[in-house]
Structure 1
Amino acid sequence: MTSTDVAIVGTGPNGLAAAVVLARAGLRVDLHEGAETLGGGLRTAPLFDSGVLHDVCSAVHPMAAASPFFREFDLAARGVELLHPDISYAHPLDGGRAALAYRSLAATCAHLGPDGRRWRQLMGPLLEHSEGVVDLVLSGQRRLPRDPVAALLLAGRAAVHGSAWGAARFCGEEAAALLTGVAAHAVGKLPSVAGGTVAMLLGHLAHGTGWPLPRGGSGRIAAAMAEDITAHGGVFHTGHTVRDLAELRGARAVLLDVSPKGFLALAAGRLPRSYARALERFRYGPGAAKVDFLVSEPIPWSDPAVGRAGSVHLGGTHAEMVRQESANARGVRTGEPFVLVVDPAVTDPGRALPGKRPVWAYAHVPNGDPTDPYDLVRSRIERYAPGFTDTVVAHRSIAAAAYETYNPNYVGGDIGSGAMTLYQSLARPVPRVDPYRTPLPGVFLCSSATPPGPGVHGMSGYLAALSVLRHRFAIRNEPGLSPKAVPRGFGSRR
C-alpha cells in the first residue's frame, strides 16, 4: 500500500468526522469502505421507486443539530438543511389518545394537562443549560464538566427517571409514556440510569435544537462531510473490505470505525491477551429489525395530530415498555415490540410523489433475532393507525441477524455498537484513560463502541482524531472545522 499519514477503516459518521479533523490538520488521509457507497448509518437510497428516497439506517438527527462537532462543522453553511417538525415526537396510546412533544415546551405542557407543570420542571432547567448538558453527555467522559450545574441537573434527573420511581412522579399515563418512549432509545433494560440519561438528553432537545430531518435524507450529511474531506486532500477507497491490519502497514496512524468484534478480526492475534479478553467480554445490546414501506398515503393515525410528528414511538404505556424492553435485554422476544416510525414526507414533503411515500420503521428485538419483522411492525402500526395495511404498496424487511451482514458494526443487529449499561457507557470498549488508543502502536478506535457511544454526533471520531494528533503527530492545536476556517496545514506530508 502507498504510504500515507492516516488510514481510516469505515466511513460511518465517526470515521468521516475523524477524517474531517485530520485532513484539515494537513495530514494525508485515506478512507477505506467495504460498501460501494459512503456513510455507514448515513445512507439514503431509492429502494422501490427511483423518485422516492429511503433512509437505509438513521433518519432523524437530534445530535446533528446539537453536538459540538456538528455545531462547529456547520451543516447549514454547507447546504444541509435540517427541517424541524412542529411536533418533535408523538406517542399514541389506545383509545385514540396520544401524548405529543411539541417543539414548543409551553405547547407540550399545555397538552399534558395536570402533568404539564411537572414536565416544565423536568425539562425547563435542562433547556437553560442545554449546551452544558449536551457537551457533558457527548464528551470523552474523562474530564470534569465545564458546566457543573448542568451536570447536577442531569445526574439528579437521570437517577430519578432511571429508577422504578420515575413514572410515579406523573399522575397521567400520557406524560409517563412520553418520557419512557424516549428512554427506550437506549435500547436496553428499563428502567435504567442509561435510559434515564438518554431520556433527559433527547427529551429536552425535543424542545430546544429539536429532532430534525435533513432535507433529502440522511445521506446529505455524509455527502457534506465527504466533500470537505476531499477538498482537503482526503482519498476514498470503496468496494473493498480491509480484512487485516497488515493491509494498512504504510500508514503512520490507523483509525478503526469498527466494532470490538471487528477489531479482534482485523488484529488477527496481535493484541495483548488481556486486552483481547476485555474486547471479547464486551456486551452487545438488543437488536433492531427494520421495515421500509412504500405507502400510498400518509399513515392514518387514530389521532390526526400524530401525523404531524417527525418521529412516532409505538410502545403503549410505561408499564408495557418496561416489560417489552427488559424482555428484549434478556433475549426474550415479545409479540408487541417497541417500534419507532418516521414518515419523512411529513417534515420534508419533497420526499414523496403522488401515491408514493416512504415510511421508516425499526422494532427492538433480541440480539441476533432471525425473525422477519414485517408482520410485527405492520400490526404494531395498525394498532394505532387502523387501515395502514391497505396503504402499503411495497415493503422491504431486515431481521436483526441480517443487519450484521449489511454492516458488520451492527453485531446481532445492535445498531448502537454495544449495550448501553451504566458501566459500558463509561468504559467503552474497555476501561482506559484514553479509550481511543489501543495497545497496538499507532492504532486507534473511533466507532460508537468508544465514548460517547451511539448516535449520529461524530464525537467518537472527533475525539479519537484529537488523540491521534496528540499522540502520533505531536500536534496539540485543533484545526478549525467551519467552512470559513483556514486549514492550518501543520501536518506531515512526507
Structure 2
Amino acid sequence: MSRYEAIIVGSGPNGLAAAITLQQRGLSTLLIEGDQQIGGGMRTKELTLPGFKHDVCSAIHPMAMASPFFNSLPLGAHGLKFLTPKYAVAHPLDNGTTAFLHNNLSDTIAALGADGQRYQSLIEPIVADWELLARAIMGPLRFPEKPWKLVEFGLHALQPASWTAQRFQTDQAAALWAGMAAHGIQPLSNWTTSAIAMVLSAVGNKYGWPVPIGGSQAIANALLSYYQSLGGHLQTGSWVTDTASLPSYKLLILDLTPKQLLELKGLNFSAGYVRQLQRFRQGMGVFKIDWALSEKTPFRDIRCQEAATVHLGNTYAEIAASEKASHYGKKVDKPFVLFTQQSAFDKQRAPDGKHTGWAYCHVPNGSPEDYTEEIEAQVERFAPGFRDTILARHTYLPAQLEAYNPNYVGGDINGGIMDVFQLYTRPVRSLTPYRTSMNNVYICSSSTPPGGGVHGMSGYHAAKTALADHYGINL
C-alpha cells in the first residue's frame, strides 16, 4: 500500500499493542521493525550453544498476566501458553533461610511468619482490587473510578521502600521486600519505590510469575499473529532514520525513547518539546549473562529450583547498599542479581538433560565494566558448584544491549528512570504524555506511562489517545 492511516515504528510489546488497538478499530496500519525479528524486548535466540534457547531480554512475565490490555486479547487462540512455577520468587539468605513469594496470598502470609499480618495489610487490598487499580495505575494520570481505593494504595505506594521495610521484623521479610523493590532500578530510599514492590508482590499472589512456553518470543509471535488476523501489515528489516522514507500516513506512532525521537529526521517538534525531551533522565543500565548449563543450578535450598525468579542479594541492607552505589556510578562487588532458569519449567529451552540460565544486575548507565565474575560469584554464593555446570556463556554490556535494542539507552531497560519525577510525567510533563508537539505524531514506548515491563499498556494508551484526537473514538 502507498498510504496507511497509521504507521507504527517498533514491534516491542507497546508497538504491537498500539498497532492492534488501531487495527481493531478498522484503520489501515503498517508495523515497521528495524530488526529482522519482531519483539523488541521479547525475543528468544540461541545465544550460547545450538539447542539452548535464551530470552535475550525479558524472561518472566508477571505483568503480562496482569495487563488489562493483554487480558482483552485472544492470545491463547494464537498459540500463547504459560507455565506457572510453584513459587513466584525465592530469596535465599546467607543464614540458610529462604523467603518465598507464593502464587497466592495465604501461603505467602503463612510463610512470612511473624511478618505475615504486616504483609497482608499492605498487599491484600491490591490483590482484591487489582482489576480496578490496574486501570488507574497502568496509564496516565486521571481521576480514578473509585478514588478512595487509589488513595489507599497511593499512601503506601508513594513511600520509599526503605520506610516500608521498617515495618518488618524478620530478615526474611525485609530481604524479600528489598528484592521486589529493587525491580524499580533505583535507590530504595527514593520516593515511590514501594509502588513497584507492592504491585509485583500483589500480581504474584494473584497470577504467579509465569513463563511463556517456547520463550518470550512466543508472546511477540502471538501478538503479531492476532494483529495480522485483523488485517495488519508488517515490514521487518527497515530501520527508520528519516520519516520522509515512510509511505504516506495520517498518524505516526513511535515506540521510541526520547533519545531516538531527537535523532529521527523529518520531525518538526516545537523548541519547547525538544527541550523537555533533552531533559529526560535515564536510569541505571543492566549487565546480563545467559548460560548453557549441564544441569539445574544446585541451590543450597533446593526449593529455589522451583521459583520463577531467584533474587540473589542476601539482606535488605546489602541490596539497598548495592542499588545505591550503582545508581551513583560505582562498581559493586556483590550486586543484586536477578536469576531464572526457564528450562526447569519449559523443556523446549534446552537439549535433554541440559539447562539454560539467565541473570542480570543493575550497573551505572552505560558502564563498560564486565560483571561476569561478580554475577557468577553471587550465584555460587547461594548455589555452591554452579560454576562447574557452565558449558558456555554469553554476556551483554549496557552498550551492547543498546545496540541490540536502541530503546535500552545505556542499558536502561525501563526506558528512563521511574522515580517520583518521571513516574507519570514521562517523557514530558503532560496529562497526555503520548502526544508530541506534532498533532499527528505520538510516542508509545516505555518512556511513557506506565513505564517498563511487558504489558502493552503504553501502546494501548497512545493508540487510544490518537483515536480520540483524530477519529472521535473514545475507548
TM-score by length of 1: 0.93
Question: 1:274: Cα distance to partner?
Answer: 1.5
Question: 1:477: Cα distance to partner?
Answer: 4.9
Partner of 2:282: 284
Question: 1:249: Cα distance to partner?
Answer: 5.9
Question: 1:296: Cα distance to partner?
Answer: 0.7
Q: Which stretch shows the higher mean deviation, 458-467 or 107-116?
A: 107-116
Q: Secondary structure at the match of 1:251?
A: strand
Contact 1:88 1:206 in 2 (8 A): yes
Q: Which stretch shows the higher mean deviation, 388-397 or 314-323?
A: 314-323
Partner of 1:460: 458
Q: For 2:190 and 2:136, locate their aligned partners in 1 and report how far apart those are by CA, in whole Å.
A: 19
Q: Does 1:51 align with 2:58?
A: no
Q: Does 1:62 align with 2:59?
A: no
Q: For 1:390 and 1:2, locate their aligned partners in 2 and report how far apart those are by CA, in whole Å.
A: 57
Q: Does 1:37 align with 2:37?
A: yes
- In structure 2, runs of 5+ residues without a counterpart are none
Q: Does 1:173 align with 2:171?
A: yes
Contact 2:48 2:290 in 1 (8 A): no
Partner of 2:127: 127
Q: Secondary structure at the match of 1:254?
A: strand
Contact 2:4 2:247 in 1 (8 A): no
AA of the residue aligned to 1:18: A
Q: Number of aligned residue pairs: give it.
A: 475
Change (3 A) 1:325 1:215: same
Q: For 2:369 and 2:162, locate their aligned partners in 1 and report how far apart those are by CA, in whole Å.
A: 31
Q: For 1:359 and 1:151, locate their aligned partners in 2 and report how far apart those are by CA, in whole Å.
A: 38
Partner of 2:442: 444
Q: For 2:372 and 2:353, locate their aligned partners in 1 and report how far apart those are by CA, in whole Å.
A: 21
AA of the residue aligned to 2:237: G
AA of the residue aligned to 2:276: A
Q: Does 1:75 align with 2:84?
A: no
Alignment of 1:288-437 (within 5 A): 288-437=286-435
Q: For 2:161 and 2:236, locate their aligned partners in 1 and report how far apart those are by CA, in whole Å.
A: 45
Runs of 4+ in 1 over 3 A off after TM superposition: none
Q: Secondary structure at the match of 2:57?
A: coil
Q: For 2:177 and 2:446, locate their aligned partners in 1 and report how far apart those are by CA, in whole Å.
A: 24
Partner of 2:9: 9
Alignment of 1:183-202 (within 5 A): 183-202=181-200
Question: 1:269: Cα distance to partner?
Answer: 6.9
Q: Secondary structure at the match of 1:169?
A: coil
Contact 1:126 1:153 in 2 (8 A): no
Q: Does 1:27 align with 2:27?
A: yes
AA of the residue aligned to 2:149: A
Question: 1:2: Cα distance to partner?
Answer: 2.2
Q: For 1:90 and 1:149, locate their aligned partners in 2 and report how far apart those are by CA, in whole Å.
A: 33
Question: 1:351: Cα distance to partner?
Answer: 2.5
Q: Which stretch shows the higher mean deviation, 148-157 or 282-291?
A: 148-157
Question: 1:253: Cα distance to partner?
Answer: 0.8
**Aligned-residue RMSD, C-alpha:** 1.6
Partner of 1:491: none
Question: 1:364: Cα distance to partner?
Answer: 0.6
Q: For 1:60 and 1:475, locate their aligned partners in 2 and report how far apart those are by CA, in whole Å.
A: 37
Question: 1:377: Cα distance to partner?
Answer: 1.3
Question: 1:101: Cα distance to partner?
Answer: 0.9
Partner of 1:486: none
AA of the residue aligned to 2:154: A
Question: 1:163: Cα distance to partner?
Answer: 5.0
Q: For 1:306 and 1:150, locate their aligned partners in 2 and report how far apart those are by CA, in whole Å.
A: 35
Partner of 1:156: 155
Change (3 A) 1:168 1:179: same
Contact 2:158 2:192 in 1 (8 A): no
Contact 1:186 1:194 in 2 (8 A): no
Identity of aligned residues (%): 43
Q: For 2:432 and 2:72, locate their aligned partners in 1 and report how far apart those are by CA, in whole Å.
A: 23
Contact 2:368 2:399 in 1 (8 A): yes
Q: Secondary structure at the match of 2:392?
A: strand
TM-score by length of 2: 0.96
Q: For 1:163 and 1:82, locate their aligned partners in 2 and report how far apart those are by CA, in whole Å.
A: 30
Partner of 1:145: 144
Q: Secondary structure at the match of 1:207?
A: helix
Question: 1:195: Cα distance to partner?
Answer: 1.6
- In structure 1, runs of 5+ residues without a counterpart are 479-494
Q: For 2:291 and 2:452, locate their aligned partners in 1 and report how far apart those are by CA, in whole Å.
A: 25
